[in-house]
């Protein structure tokens, strides 16, 4: 029986860890986690979000995920949206999920990212 999601991996191109840290760490506010020594040799970065993790993994023939995505529920929806816009990230409203306030953006590698207003979920 499956009991939880431990982590989600998002692909990234080689050598772009600082861009990933700026987006997932500085902008989204995720805490970076140390990678095990053997895995650190592969590049990428790991971040904590609640009790789960987001792993940025290097993919040799990287192509961004345009449909598959991570959805983050956030407590400062407007503030995060403003910070993303100020950093040059486009945000696009989406009201297809009735009762959920959300927008989509892309990480610095072009991967789709969904941002949900946590208060619209009752969080």
| Helical residues (DSSP H) of the chain, grouped into ranges | 17-20, 37-40, 77-86
Question: Cα–chain-centroid distance for residue 88?
Answer: 16
- Contacts for 87-96: CB closer than 8 Å, 24+ residues apart: 87/22, 87/27, 89/27, 91/115
* Per-residue pLDDT tens over the stretch 14-25: 999 999 999 999
Q: So where are the chain's domains?
A: 7-121
Condensed to tens digits (0 to 9), the pLDDT of residues 52-102 reads 999 999 999 999 999 999 999 999 999 999 999 999 999 999 888 888 899
Integer Cα distance of 105 and 93 in angstroms: 9
**Does 7-121 carry CATH code 3.40.830.10?**
no
Residue 33 pLDDT class (50, 70, 90 cuts): very high
């Amino acid at each position: 029986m499956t009991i939880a999601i431990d982590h989600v991996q998002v692909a990234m191109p080689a050598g772009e860890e600082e861009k990933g840290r700026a987006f997932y760490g500085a902008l989204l506010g995720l805490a970076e986690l140390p990678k095990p020594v053997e895995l650190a040799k592969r590049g990428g970065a790991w971040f904590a979000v609640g009790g789960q993790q987001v792993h940025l993994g290097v993919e040799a023939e990287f192509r961004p995920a345009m449909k598959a995505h991570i959805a983050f529920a956030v407590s400062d929806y407007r503030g995060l949206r403003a910070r993303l816009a100020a950093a040059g990230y486009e945000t696009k409203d989406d009201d297809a999920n009735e009762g959920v306030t959300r927008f989509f953006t892309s990480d610095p590698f072009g991967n789709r990212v969904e941002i949900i207003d946590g208060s619209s979920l009752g969080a």
